[in-house]
Amino acid sequence: MDRKRHWEDVYASKAVHETSWHQAEPAPSLALIRHAAGKRKPSLIDVGGGASRLVDCLLDEGFPDLAVLDISGQALDQARLRLGRRASRVEWVESDVTQFEPGRTYEIWHDRAAFHFLTEAEDRRRYVDVLLRTLAEGGHVIIAAFAPDGPQKCSGLDIVRYDARALGAELGPRFVLDEERYEVHLTPAGREQRFGFHRFHKAA
How many CA atoms are closer than 13 Å to the CA of 190, on its beta-carbon side?
0
- Pick from 104, 100, 8: which is nearest to 51 by CA? 8
Into how many domains does the chain fold?
A: 1
Evaluated on CA atoms 200, 136, 33, 170, the torsion sign reads negative
In this prediction, residue 185 carries a pLDDT of 86
Please tell me the predicted confidence (pLDDT) of residue 130. 98
- Read off the pLDDT of residues 148-175 as tens digits, 9 standing for 90 and up: 999 999 988 999 999 999 999 999 999 9
Q: What letter represents residue 135's amino acid?
A: L
Provide the mean pLDDT of the chain. Answer: 94
Distance between CA 135 and CA 139 in Å, rounded? 6
Enclosing domain of residue 86: 3-202
Q: What is the pLDDT of residues 173-198, one digit of tens each?
A: 999 999 999 999 888 778 889 999 99
Q: Which helix (H) or strand (E) segment is 107 a member of?
A: strand 106-112
CATH code (residue 167): 3.40.50.150
Closest-CA residue to 148 (of 137, 169, 164, 134): 164
For 103, phi then psi, to 5°, come to -95, 0
